[in-house]
Amino acid sequence: MIVAGVMSGTSADGIDVAIARIFGRDLSLRYDLLHHFHLTYSRPVRSLILSEMNSSHTNVADLARLNFLLAELYADAVRKAQKESGIRALDLVGCHGQTIYHQGTPLQFLGKRISCTWQTGDGSVLAARLGIPVVTDFRPADMAAGGKGAPLVPFFDFVSLRHRTRGRIAQNLGGIANLTAIPARAKAEDVIAFDTGPGNMVIDALTEKLFDRAYDLNGNIARRGAPIEAAVRRALRHRFFAERPPKTSGREQFGREFSEALKRWCGRCRREDVIATATAITARSIGDALRHFVIKKNARYRDYVVSGGGVKNVTLMKMLAEQVIPLGLRLQRMEEYGVESEAKEALAFAVLAYQTWRKRPSNLPSATGARKPAVLGKLSLP
């Protein structure tokens, strides 16, 4: 099948489309990435999405419109990806949607224990526009099985990277950073996966605030600064970092409030130093997570395979190398496995949709905490 995966992450910068040929199923599933395309959100769309995320004062009309608007934009992005690549015949789309809210842990709510999540971007509209079946809204089925609804990419990592003699760690650097650790000769239940904390989210927020740019291109700003050690240490005392996996994070932990606090902790310094500090927090929190929760005897971890937008941040990659090389890991990029770094998450949702189409599960209970595998998502027919 030719499947398009559509991803728009918590950084709300735009839409990634990955088109792949997929065959087999479950652990014998294989894919060829055929094309990757990125569509940047317009400023008004981005600003609407950011204002709705976790909002405590919004209106249902705008939320309803956003759901339908995003479906139109996802359809535009898929069509542009098809045009650019010349791939006319798509069989299926898997679309993650834009996360508006995520509460992975159940809380009492009007007499029931409720955890919940919300990815917006309507599947029926997308299916109608493209004329093919669409799978959306992957997270609730995992949560209904007792999972945290995240992370979901580990299934893809496990299928892609498991190896008979080498342990491998897949590290994604999106808005949030997350890793999937796959010991040598791992079974599904041996996989460890969790969010390590901020990826680009805090760096982006502070770059926008202090330099009025969307992100620190190539890490050039951070390279000119020096991390403020006291602020790094203060930030790493955030309770999230000490929590044992599985665990998930988002804007709830590392959003505006955290960025503003970090700026205060930096005290009087050059603004480049603030960006360097944010960058160091991403690298150091990942290093801590590897040391505390991942690296153990017998897992034979060798390859550390990085993907996501953060790969382009040279300063971040350098700081990350300082963390992982002493652990005996080899820093690689997802490109070495035939997948463009920035296409990986979109490709993962193509693979998840393909599994759903085949009525096969695609959560990893060891990653999400679910009681059992679940067929993820909702299917819309054109």
Could you say which residues in the range 82-101 bind a second copy, by CB under 8 A?
A: 100-101
CA distances in angstroms from 53 to 31, 111, 201, 273, 339, listed in the order given: 33, 26, 14, 29, 30
Binding residue count for a second copy, defined by CB under 8 A? 60
Could you say which residues in the range 24-63 bind a second copy, by CB under 8 A?
A: 42, 44-45, 48, 52-61, 63
Which of 331, 326, 315 shows the shortest CA–CA distance to 280? 315
Strand pairing class (167-173; 301-307): parallel
Q: How far is the CB of 16 from a second copy (least distance, A)?
A: 20
CB-CB contact of 171 with 305 (8 Å): yes
Binding residue for a second copy (CB under 8 A) from 98, 103, 249, 363?
A: 103
Binding residue for a second copy (CB under 8 A) from 8, 10, 98, 115?
A: 115
Binding residue for a second copy (CB under 8 A) from 21, 50, 72, 209?
A: 72
Q: Which is nearer to a second copy, 76 or 84 (CB)?
A: 76
Q: How far is the CB of 113 from a second copy (least distance, A)?
A: 9
The interface region with a second copy, picked from 5-13, 120-128, 308-316, 331-339 by CB under 8 A, is 120-128
Residue 131 in the binding site for a second copy (CB under 8 A): no
Cα–Cα dist 344/342, whole Å: 6
Two tokens, residue 121: 């971007």
Could you say which residues in the range 284-313 bind a second copy, by CB under 8 A?
A: none
Which of 124, 34, 114 shows the shortest CA–CA distance to 74? 124
The interface region with a second copy, picked from 121-129, 230-238, 274-282, 338-346 by CB under 8 A, is 121-129
Which of 334, 377, 372, 338 shows the shortest CA–CA distance to 355? 377
Binding residue for a second copy (CB under 8 A) from 1, 34, 68, 335?
A: 68
Binding residue for a second copy (CB under 8 A) from 77, 78, 93, 127?
A: 127
Binding residue for a second copy (CB under 8 A) from 88, 164, 237, 359?
A: 359
Residue 337 in the binding site for a second copy (CB under 8 A): no
| 254-289 burial: b if 16+ Cβ within 10 Å, else e | bbeebbeebbebbeebebbbbbbbbbbbbbbbbbbb
Binding residue for a second copy (CB under 8 A) from 50, 128, 214, 321?
A: 128
Q: How far is the CB of 248 from a second copy (least distance, A)?
A: 15
CB-CB contact of 309 with 270 (8 Å): no
Q: How far is the CB of 124 from a second copy (least distance, A)?
A: 4
Q: How far is the CB of 192 from a second copy (least distance, A)?
A: 25
Give helix 256-266 / helix 201-211 axis angle, nearest 10°. Answer: 70
CB-CB contact of 323 with 286 (8 Å): yes
Q: How far is the CB of 247 from a second copy (least distance, A)?
A: 19
Q: How far is the CB of 99 from a second copy (least distance, A)?
A: 10
DSSP secondary structure string for all residues of 18-50: EEEEEES-GGG-EEEEEEEEEEEPPHHHHHHHH
Cα–Cα dist 224/81, whole Å: 36
Neighbours of 337 (CB within 10 A): 16
The interface region with a second copy, picked from 31-39, 150-158, 232-240, 373-381 by CB under 8 A, is 373-381
Q: Which is nearer to a second copy, 133 or 246 (CB)?
A: 133
Q: Which is nearer to a second copy, 155 or 301 (CB)?
A: 155
φ and ψ at residue 51, rounded to 5 degrees: -75, -25
Binding residue for a second copy (CB under 8 A) from 123, 175, 198, 287?
A: 123
CB-CB contact of 80 with 39 (8 Å): yes
Residues binding a second copy (CB under 8 A): 42, 44-45, 48, 52-61, 63-65, 67-69, 71-73, 100-101, 103, 109-112, 114-118, 122-125, 127-129, 136-137, 140-141, 143-145, 356, 359, 374-382
